[in-house]
Structure formats: C-alpha cells, structure tokens
Structure 1
Amino acid sequence: MDIGLLSFYIRRRISQSKPLRYTLWIITALLSLIFINKVFRGGNVTVPSGDSSYQGISSSNRDLTNEEINTLIAGGNLLQKHELPKFRLAMPYLNNEVDEQNYEFTGDVLIRNDQYVRLTSLKKHQKSSFFSNSQVDLQSFVMEWNFALSGNGEVSSLHGDGMAVLFSEYKLDQGEMFGVNEYYKGFGIYVDTYRNGRSGIFPYVLASRNDGTQRYDNDNDGKANEISGCIARSLWNPSSGVVKARLVYIEDGYVSLDFDYKNEGVWTNCFTLQEVYLPEKFHVGFSAQTGDLSEIVDIFEARIYSLKDHDGNPVTEFQKLVDVMNDPSSPDKFEDVTEEYQLDDHTKRRRVVSQKKDGKQMRRTLKRLINAEKRIKKEAEQRRVERRAKRSEWWNSVKKWFYFMIAAVVCYMATIVYRVQKKNNIRRSKNQGLIV
C-alpha cells in the first residue's frame, strides 16, 4: 500500500471527525505516560544486596565442603554402594566379554586391550563415541571414571576440540558436538579444550541440559547451554597420567562433579547443582572430536554404583543423608577394632569387635552436613534469581523497544493530527476573511 495515499486517507478522516481528533490526543497522552513510566522505572529483578544468603556464598568450617559431602555419599560407609556390572568398562577390554556387551563403540575408537580406550588420537578430524547398550534405571547413583587428555605442548598451547560425558535417553549418532549429535534429551558434561569465541581459561568443564531441541553454542564454547562449570587446567597432561572423576546424582535434583587431578584421593569440586533432573532411564556415553587441531582422549575405566540406605531402600532425596546420620543404630555409627583378650593365664589372643564411633565427632559432622544442605539450597536459589534477572532484563529490553515503536507511531499520528488541525484553522480563517 502506498504510504502517501495512506497518510492522505488518515489526514482526511481525521479532518472530518472531531471526536477522532480528541481520541487520538488522549491516546497519545496515555501512551506517553506509560512509556515514560516503563523506561525510567525499569523493573529488572535484582539480587537482594541486604540478604547474606545471596552474598558470595561459600563453604566454611561450619559446614561440609561439596567434596566432603560427595565423599560421605560415595565412600560406602554412610550409604550402601553397589556396582552395576553391565555398565562397567575395565581392562582387559577385548578379553572381557561383559565389557564388549556393555558398550557399543563407533567412529575412530582405538582399543588397546590392557591400556586404554582411545577416542581421539593426534590426528585431525576424528569423531568417536561409545554408549551403554543398557539403560541406567536408578533413582540415585555414583558414576566414577578414569580418563586423560594429553598431547603436544603446554595447557596454554592450541589443541582441541574436547570430549563429552552424556546421559541421554537414546544412543547418539555422530555429529558436530564433541563427535555426536547435539540434539539429545538428557544431561551432558562437556570438556572443551579449544577456545572459539569465549574468553577465559581452557580446558573448561560445563554442565548442560537438553530437551532435544537445543543446538550447541559452538561459536561461544557452549555459553548459551551452560548451567554451571569450572576451569580445569590440570586435566591437560595429568602428572600421574590419569584423572579420576566422580558424579553424584540424587533423585531430588542433587548433581555434583568432582575431579581427583593427581590420582591421590584429593578431590576438587567442579560444580554442585540442585533441581537438575536426569531422565528416568538413560544411556551413558563418552564422545570426543578433533578438528584442524588434535589431542589424545583416553578412557581407562568407568563404573556406576547404586545408592541405598542400610535397609536396602533407594536413596531418593538429599535429606536421607541427614536421616541416616541421625539414626544411632545405623552401621556407619560403628567401626571394627582389634582388641586383645586373655584366653588363659599364659595365652593372649586378638579379636575384631564392633565399637561405636566417637559420638562427638559424629554430631559435629551431622551439624556441618545440615549447614551444607542449607548452603546448597541457598546457592540454588541464587542461581534461580540470577536466571530470572537475566530473563527479566531481556524482556524489559524488548518491552522498551516495543514502547519506543509505539511512541514513534503515536508521534507520527500526533503530527498528522497537528498538521490537519493547523490546516483546518487556516481554512477557517480564510473563510472568515471572505465573509468579512
């Protein structure tokens, strides 16, 4: 439609209708007030500055660190920990019929029977992966795996692209996200070793969820997909030749990842999240990819353990840890000790007896665990507030542009009204002059 004709039509209708002119003036005034109110008052959600629960939350000696919590869970004392053999990957790989049935290997995988499963080598443009043939069907579990990222040069040199550990409803075909299809349903841990557009230090480990529709933000190294993450420089060329990792998952949404970088039993937490839910059933998989640059990605071992209380019931919530520690009769309150006893006047013997642990220490640990639970919940709430703030900020920007466009249209209409009104005034003055 011709804008000039439309403008002429609007001016003509306005000049012929006094009520329409008044209506437009009223609308202009109202929209201007709304626009000024929205722009200058804003409305962004901000993190409260006066609430200590949102101020740089960190663990202290009053609560357990995330690593200590995971050690309590995965240590096998507080809870029962049972391995599921159908998800085991261990040496010797080719001689172990169970392992060969446990996983399906695709792509450029290289298997050395008593050494490693190599996903990528020092070659360009490789893709490989392996996924469990069975689905994990556990309410809560611990997964432990040993791996290594290595290659030429220091950690600051160029190499890539990285690897992924995936918990997907279905096995994934080859693709461009660390060697597999980026459209999956589930949870993923990405170890990115090549910087594309994102600033920061690499390798970088990030956690991500996908509902099957989200693309991987490769140009920004997964920034748009990231829930949480950590810098992990010590993953590159580990001093002991291997890095241990453990993922703890509890059905009520507790997910936590630790690394033992030097294979010395010293764990470092990468991320701990609340309200992150894995699929009810999923395949576990490993994948890796190289591009114009290359690196070696080796997987040495992988195991999955179920978590149950000492009555054999599945652990479904974090609170269960507190309940077990509060139970004075639970097996974790006792320990085996060796004592001497007198068999007769000339003979002494040793025996192993069960003895209750130091109650003071147990109470102290329980208190720290309760404080840690509160801290983790506050951290989860802080992340929710920050996500809402980001969404609100984006939405407010959209609204401001919308109101600006409305204001521009209204101003244009007001200009037309003014011009028509001025034209009518001139016409009336001329008519009056003729009458005189």
Structure 2
Amino acid sequence: MADAVTKVYRSLPSDSLVYLKTLSKSVCLLLVLCVLLGSSSADNVYEMEEFLKREYSLTKPYQGLGSSSSSHWDLMGNAMVTPDHVRLTPDLQSRQGAVWSRIPCYLRDWELQVQFKVHGEGKKNFHGDGVAFWLTKERMQNGPVFGNMNLFTGLGVFVDTYTNEDKNREKRQTGTQRVYPYVSAMLGNGTLSYDHERDGRPTEIGGCTAMVRNVNHDTFLLIRYIRSRLTIMTDVDGHREWRDCADISGVRLPLGFYFGATSITGDLSDNHDLISMKLYELTVDKTKEELEQEEEEEVTVPRVDNMQQFIVVELEEGMSGVQYAVTALFSLMGLGVLAAIGLMAYGRWKEKSRKRFY
C-alpha cells in the first residue's frame, strides 16, 4: 500500500507536489488550531465553574433551602420541595409560592442561569399564569405580580404563559401581536405599577416569545448583567444553545438586592417547577476610568439610561378616520371664528385710537 502511494506521489507534476505540500501544511495548522480551541473551551468551562457562587445558587438536593439558620434560601406560600424540583405552584387554582435568597448580592457583574419547567393539564388558552425571577430590594412579599408585590424595586423577568390583553386592541394600538408564552423584563423603581390588563407592556424594557410550556426537553433562561448591560437569552428548543431574547444597555442596578423566584395561579393553573438557579460571578477587564466611575457612582434606585427609547406612542382608542376628519373640520371652523372675532376687535380698537388722537 505504501509503495503504491509513493509511486502515485512521484508521478505527479511538480506544481501538483507544491499544491499537496501546501495543503498538508494547511491541514496540520487546522488540526493544531482545533486542539488549541478545544483546550481553550475546556479552560473556559473550568473557569466558569470556579466562579459559581454557591451561596446565591439553588441546586439539587436543595440542602440550602428551609427554615434552619444555616439555610441560604427561604420557602414561601404553597411552594414545596421534592427530590427533583421546587414546585412553586401546583396545577391548582388560586395558589402562589416563592423561594427567596437570604443573602443580599453585592456582585457588580454576574450571570444567572435558571432551569425550570411549566406544564399542566390545561389545553390551549386554559392555563396560567406564569413564573418570574427577581433581583429586588424587597423579599418575601406576597402580591399580584406573578406572586410578588406590585411597586417593587429592582429587576423582574417574567415568563408569562397567558395573555390578558385583548388581541384586537393590542394590534390596533401597537401594530404587533405577541405570541405566548412570552418572556419580558421590567425595571421597577418603587413607583411603577405592573399593568395586568396589558401584560406589562407599558413598563417592558425588552422581551421575546419562548415556547416553554408542556415540552419534553429541558428549558433554560439566562440573565446576564455586565458593564451596565442587561442581556436575556433562552434555551427552550432542546438544541442546547442560547438564543437572544433582549439586550438593554444603560441599566443601573443597585447592590445589596435579593434573588428570588415566584409563581401564581388564578382561575387557570399550571405546575411551575424550579429545577435550579445558578449564579456566576463574571470577571471583566475594565479600564481605570470605568473602575473609578463605579466607585464614585452610587446607584440607589434602579433605572435605565435614555428611557425615551422604550416609550411606545399609541393612538387614542375608538378614534376612527371619519372621527378624525370631523374633529379636524370643526377645529378649523373654530379657528376661523376666533380669527374673525380678533380682526373685528382689532378694527374697533384702531378706530377708537384714531378718534382719541385726532
């Protein structure tokens, strides 16, 4: 076999030999690059594991969850622990449950990876309401916003499985129509209210559709906060790859807030299961100016720079084209009448002035 290869090699023209030598060098270089990239990827995985913050993470067998003094997480409401998950709410009406971290987070750059599952017996449009993940100033507060309080201070990321807003009204006012389940983010400053009738659209800073309900594969959510940039990604297709969901720059989050997960059911219900929450501290190369700015700038209230970019201009409900035309016509007539009255008044004033001086 070797002799046959040698004969073929020697019978080739000189330019072909040069081509083969070049090709073999390229193949060798490609193999070396693949090895280096493979080792680099392995190093990155190991490095990420090194920065896993266990005191802010909740994983099986959920030993840090409970009422003991050594626990890092509190259980609340109808939530219960099983060997495989923390069930925030069962598939029953009027239930709500939560888990909240006891330790405030003082990390500036972090990434939260959540594995969860939403499933139930309800058919299309007969299930609800969803699950939410939080980083807020307040903790352990029952409320209507996916089981948490309204007027919260901090970040809320909602996995909404049921639409409350009238679809025709939504399309008429915004020009778009969401497909549910839907993931959205909201930044609360203690005064902003979550609008249930409109599924939080007026205060949403970003979001995407994510088909998470009653699937046979694992579903994940990633929330990353780095250099004042909030990024949300999903992995809900069973392909084990992250897909972009929202990317918002200029997000300012204070330190010392608490992570949590909550859920609620009403007339409609689902099982909302939390499988794991893993928090990673991210190391970022920052300039001297960035470090000095972080030390000098003390953020006390969450905000988004240039919030104007998130304001949606909407038309008044119920104003048809005919109504706009009639309104415009009467407005013009009114302006004409006012102009005529003004001219008459000016003429009389001018006539009196002329009589007074002459």
TM-score range, shorter chain: 0.5 to 0.7
- In the alignment, what sits opposite 1:415? 341
Change (3 A) 1:302 1:95: closer
Paired AA for residue 109 in structure 1: A
**Contact map agreement 2:205 2:310 (CA 8 A) in 1:** no
- In the alignment, what sits opposite 1:277? 252
| TM-score, structure 1 as length reference | 0.54
- In the alignment, what sits opposite 1:101? 71
- In the alignment, what sits opposite 1:160? 128
SS at match of 2:251: coil
**Contact map agreement 2:111 2:224 (CA 8 A) in 1:** yes
Query: 1:183-194 to 2 correspondence within 5 Å?
Result: 183-194=151-162
- 1:119 to partner: Cα distance: 0.8
Structure 1 residues 139-195: Cα deviation after superposition (integer angstroms, max 9, x where no partner): 1011112100111245x4321111111110221511111111111111110111111
Q: Does 1:238 align with 2:215?
A: yes
**Larger of the two Rg values belongs to structure:** 1
Runs of 5+ unmatched residues, structure 2 = 1-40, 171-176, 291-303, 317-326, 352-358
- In the alignment, what sits opposite 2:301? none
SS at match of 1:101: coil
- In the alignment, what sits opposite 2:298? none
Paired AA for residue 85 in structure 1: R
- In the alignment, what sits opposite 2:242? 267
- 1:93 to partner: Cα distance: 2.3
- 1:229 to partner: Cα distance: 0.5
Change (3 A) 1:135 1:162: same
| C-alpha distance in 2 between matches for 1:95 and 1:254 | 30
- Correspondent of 2:189 among 200, 208, 211: 211
- 1:274 to partner: Cα distance: 1.4
Query: 1:370-389 to 2 correspondence within 5 Å?
Result: 386-387=309-310
Change (3 A) 1:157 1:303: same
- In the alignment, what sits opposite 2:202? 224
SS at match of 2:114: strand
Percent identity of paired positions between Structure 1 and Structure 2: 24
**Contact map agreement 1:90 1:99 (CA 8 A) in 2:** no
Change (3 A) 1:159 1:316: farther
SS at match of 2:159: strand
- Correspondent of 2:95 among 119, 122, 126: 126
Query: 1:34-433 to 2 correspondence within 5 Å?
Result: 75-76=44-45, 81-93=50-62, 101-112=71-82, 114-153=83-122, 156-197=124-165, 198=170, 199-233=177-211, 235-240=212-217, 242-250=218-226, 252-308=227-283, 315=285, 386-387=309-310, 390=313, 412=338, 415=341, 418=344
Structure 1 residues 326-382: Cα deviation after superposition (integer angstroms, max 9, x where no partner): xxxxxxxxxxxxxxxxxxxxxxxxxxxxxxxxxxxxxxxxxxxxxxxxxxxxxx99x
Structure 1 residues 275-330: Cα deviation after superposition (integer angstroms, max 9, x where no partner): 12222221001011111000110001111111125xxxxx558xx9xxxxxxxxxx
Structure 1 residues 244-288: Cα deviation after superposition (integer angstroms, max 9, x where no partner): 2222211x2222122222555222221122112222221001011
| C-alpha distance in 2 between matches for 1:75 and 1:159 | 40
SS at match of 1:297: strand
Change (3 A) 1:75 1:232: farther
- In the alignment, what sits opposite 2:32? none
SS at match of 1:299: strand
| C-alpha distance in 2 between matches for 1:272 and 1:110 | 33
CA RMSD in angstroms, aligned pairs only: 3.9
Paired AA for residue 123 in structure 1: L
| C-alpha distance in 1 between matches for 2:70 and 2:239 | 30
| C-alpha distance in 1 between matches for 2:116 and 2:145 | 19
- In the alignment, what sits opposite 1:366? none
Paired AA for residue 281 in structure 2: S
| C-alpha distance in 2 between matches for 1:257 and 1:133 | 24
269-278 vs 180-189, which moves further: 269-278
Structure 1 residues 41-89: Cα deviation after superposition (integer angstroms, max 9, x where no partner): xxxxxxxxxxxxxxxxxxxxxxxxxxxxxxx9x9547878511121121
- In the alignment, what sits opposite 1:61? none
Paired AA for residue 53 in structure 2: L
SS at match of 1:170: coil
**Contact map agreement 1:140 1:316 (CA 8 A) in 2:** no
**Contact map agreement 2:95 2:266 (CA 8 A) in 1:** yes
